[in-house]
């Protein structure tokens, strides 16, 4: 059964998954912008999903995104960059194996930003049907979060965080829209 999260809602993913949760897939999907571009044709928006890894004492010690696809401990893998959002289903995915996450990492923050948003004059108010969802190791959806609600002027969204609680991981939906020019801009909000 899928849980549709709202801002601030917490869910213990280990307990929600039938047989516990050791691996997950975070999927990002969106539709193309239906507004005509400067030189005709449809505008494309390039959304990028990323995970920021943090320790108890330092935020953003490592980032997994389209340019750095595998974490140092090999627990997180970005499967590739979709530049348009064209097609059905997930446009980008990040795979996480919680059993391999380094012990010093206690927080995995899921973020999404619009690539080159300032130059293209784009924001999340223009993006339709954008979502992030969490799938268990059997590809069953556990959690879904709608990105297009209440983020009209944002160029980035802090979707939520996986936080280590002993041997389990808890997910908190944050849903905070922010203005960033690239992935490094998120550090100011962590």
For residue 141, list its beta bridge partners. 135
Given this model, what pLDDT does residue 6 score? 65
Give the pLDDT mean for 169-176: 82
Give the pLDDT mean for 87-92: 83
**Lowest pLDDT segment from 21-30, 40-49, 61-70:** 40-49
pLDDT in tens, 35-60: 655 555 567 889 999 999 999 999 89
Phi, psi of 186 (to 5 degrees): -70, -25
CA 4 – CA 162 distance, rounded (Å): 16
Given this model, what pLDDT does residue 43 score? 73
Quick check: 23 and 134 in contact, CB under 8 A? no
Phi-psi region of 189 (alpha: psi -120 to 50; beta: other; left: phi over 0): alpha
Q: How far is CA 161 from CA 3, 79, 129, in A?
A: 16, 20, 21
Given this model, what pLDDT does residue 1 score? 55
Given this model, what pLDDT does residue 42 score? 63
pTM of the model: 0.88
């Amino acid at each position: 059964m899928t849980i549709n999260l709202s801002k601030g809602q917490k869910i213990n993913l280990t307990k929600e998954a039938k047989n516990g949760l050791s691996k997950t897939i975070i999927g990002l999907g969106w539709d193309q912008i239906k507004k005509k571009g400067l030189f005709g044709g449809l505008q494309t928006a390039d959304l990028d999903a990323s995970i920021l890894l943090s320790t108890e004492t330092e935020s953003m010690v490592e980032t997994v995104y389209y340019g750095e696809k595998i974490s140092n401990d090999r627990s997180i893998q970005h499967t590739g960059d979709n530049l348009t959002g064209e097609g059905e289903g997930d446009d980008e995915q990040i795979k996480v194996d919680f059993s391999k996450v380094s012990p010093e990492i206690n927080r995995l923050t899921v973020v999404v930003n619009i690539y080159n948003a300032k130059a293209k004059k784009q924001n999340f108010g223009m993006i339709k049907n954008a979502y992030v969802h969490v799938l268990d190791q059997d590809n069953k959806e556990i959690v879904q979060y709608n990105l297009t609600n209440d983020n009209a002027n944002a160029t980035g969204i802090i979707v939520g965080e996986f936080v280590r609680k002993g041997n389990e991981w808890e997910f908190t939906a944050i849903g905070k829209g922010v203005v960033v020019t690239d992935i490094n801009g998120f550090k100011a909000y962590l």
